[in-house]
Amino acid sequence: MSFWVTLWAAVFGGASAAFVPRVAHRLAVPRDTRPRSTCADCTADLPTWVRAGAPCRCSRPPVWTMAAGAVVTGLLGAAIGPAPLLLVLLPAATLGILLAAIDLRCLRLPDALVALLAAATVLPLSLGALLTGEPARLGRGALAALLSGAIYLIIALLPGAGLGLGDVKLATVLGFTLGFVGWPALAAGLLAPHLINGPVALALLLTRRAKRRTALPLGPALLAGALVGIVLA
């Protein structure tokens, strides 16, 4: 583990996550609805997309969002070290935090952001594998993506599963990266989300903050599971 790489990665993650709240606030709207142009709490105008800090003057500073960004990227830096893979995963981690923030707010994973995450990971990893003479990693990633997508599509089609197609698409994209890293990373990445969401759902039921049919976001758990798979690989 390189201390300086870990520190640099954590600083990058915390700083980039500071820009997440404004974008998440604007995009956390129901499907087929235009992005929000005013604050949902005080109705003040949100004239720009890019703003570090709280999404609006009436909001609290995004301490937890920045902390999450620093922890996620710091873990990636510690696990991967000074490797090209880290340069791909750092901006992808910020996109993941944005997706998680939106999903927690409105139970939705915007297709455009999932597609952007795919472009930010699949394209550079594929190009890198071809340039370094490692086509096997590319094939493994593609097979893992198909496997992850198929598994979650089957689950989504089950009655009462509570999974949306956004979860399926995100699982497919994450599956490529996990497969690219290795089969153990994929196995951990597929298992961890359910070990994360299970206790959360149970706690919400026991505290009566949710009912048996209450829809819960799976995106954050999928992203956290991918992080676990990469860190443990």
Cβ proximity of 101 and 65 under 8 Å: yes
Q: Which residues contact 50 (CB under 8 A, 6 or more apart)?
A: 19, 22, 23
- Provide mean pLDDT across the span 25-29: 94
CA 95 to each of CA 85, 111, 130, 199: distance values in angstroms, whole numbers, following the listed order: 16, 13, 25, 25
Tell if the pTM clears 0.75, that is, is over it: yes
User: What's the pLDDT tens digit per position in 95-109?
Assistant: 999 999 999 999 999
Percent of the chain surpassing pLDDT 90: 75
Across 111-132, average pLDDT = 95
| CA distance linking residue 13 with residue 23, whole number of Å | 16
pLDDT at residue 143 tops 70 = yes
C-alpha–C-alpha distance, residues 73 and 138, integer Å = 24
Q: How is the chain split into domains, by residue range?
A: 3-232
The candidate with the shortest Cα–Cα distance to 17, out of 85, 68, 59, is 68
pLDDT, position 1: 64
Q: What's the gap between Cα 213 and its chain centre?
A: 24
